[in-house]
Amino acid sequence: MAESKKVVYAATLGNLVIAISKFAAAIFTGSSAMLAEAFHSTVDTGNELLLLLGLNRSQKPPDRQHPFGHGKELYFWALIVAVSMFGIGGGMSIYEGISGILHPGELQDSIWAYSVLGVAAIFEGYSWTIGYRALRRHRRPGESIWNTVHRSSNPALFSPFVEDTAALAGIVVAFLGIWLSHVFQTSYLDSSASIFIGLILVAAARFLALETRGLLVGESADQQQVESIRSAIQSHRAVKRVGDLLTMQVGPEQVLVTANIEFRRDLNTGQLETAVDQIEEAVRQKEPEVKRIFFEAEGLSGRQSRQAA
């Protein structure tokens, strides 16, 4: 979690400074694209604070009402982040762009806008680099960074990266909109850039919402992890067959496992209990994210159940 918080803190600080600078530039230049970028950075700042709230609440210990812990609390707040990015960031940027087209204003000196966009690119680039490096440490050999994002169970890692990627794209669009408006002496291009920035935010929000929805409703561990768990169970000499193997993400880097196992018929109760303990240890060694294991065992008289905390 320390790594996740570092990523979010870096994004929060960068977005706060950038938002203030962009609002100042929007006031001095009257640029719709710059105002859209200011909305963008303000929403991103609030989003990082929501992720920090989710991170802190997700670390609360299990209790009677939440026996598997509060890990999914982060998924809830990450979904709120996606909704706010869609509604507030994307919606206000598109509205500002349409308003600028319907009521075009006069072009102002753009030196403020270019200066602020340059500073914003530096801050956003730094934050993006921190997020990228954190994701890269979780990347498997030969895996693209976007597949790592898709596989990740930690929104505090992938959400800032997606937001920073959208922010860098928005900076490029804002620069082009302001520059082209001055080249062709029309504010319509600046307003159109604001709409395009809004569409970028909407696309990023949709991506985050889809990723978070799967985690929130009970997404399984990825297939490679499932096969690794099955292999760890099947390789034990006491196991005859592994039946249903079900997994679920119950929080960032927290996996719940339930497995139906058919044990050899010649095992006594003591040998069965020893085998179960050994299998639990083998699973956790191969997949440290597994926090809770439930076994439904067959092999002695009828069917027995065993829970591993």
**Do 52 and 8 form a contact (C-beta atoms < 8 A)?**
yes
Q: To 5 degrees, how large is the angle CA 153–CA 3–CA 20?
A: 100
**Per-residue confidence at 246, pLDDT binned at 50, 70, 90?**
very high
Sign of torsion, CA 300 301 305 309? Answer: negative
Q: Examine the pLDDT at 203 and tell me if it is beyond 50.
A: yes
Q: How far apart are CA 73 and CA 63, in angstroms?
A: 14
The CATH architecture assigned to 2-216 reads: Up-down Bundle (1.20)
Q: Which two three-digit tokens encode residue 98?
A: 């349409």
pLDDT above 70 for 285: yes
Q: First-to-last CA distance in the chain?
A: 21
Helices 155-184, 188-216: axis angle to 10 degrees equals 170
Q: What is the pLDDT of residue 269?
A: 85
21 in Cβ contact with 171 (< 8 Å): no
pLDDT of residue 201: 92
Please write the tens of the pLDDT for every residue from 3-24.
Answer: 777 788 888 888 888 888 888 8
Which pLDDT tens digit goes with each residue over 124-180? Answer: 898 899 999 999 998 989 899 999 999 899 998 899 999 999 999 999 999 999 999
Q: For the CA atoms of the chain, what is the radius of gyration?
A: 25
pLDDT value of residue 4: 77
- The DSSP symbol for 194 reads H
pLDDT for 307 equals: 53
| Owner of token pair 């956790």 | 284
- For residue 196, give Cα distances in angstroms to 87, 97, 168, 190: 15, 8, 13, 10
Spell out the domain ranges in the chain.
2-216, 223-308
pLDDT given for residue 306 in this prediction:
52
DSSP code of residue 104: -
CATH assignment, 223-308: 3.30.70.1350
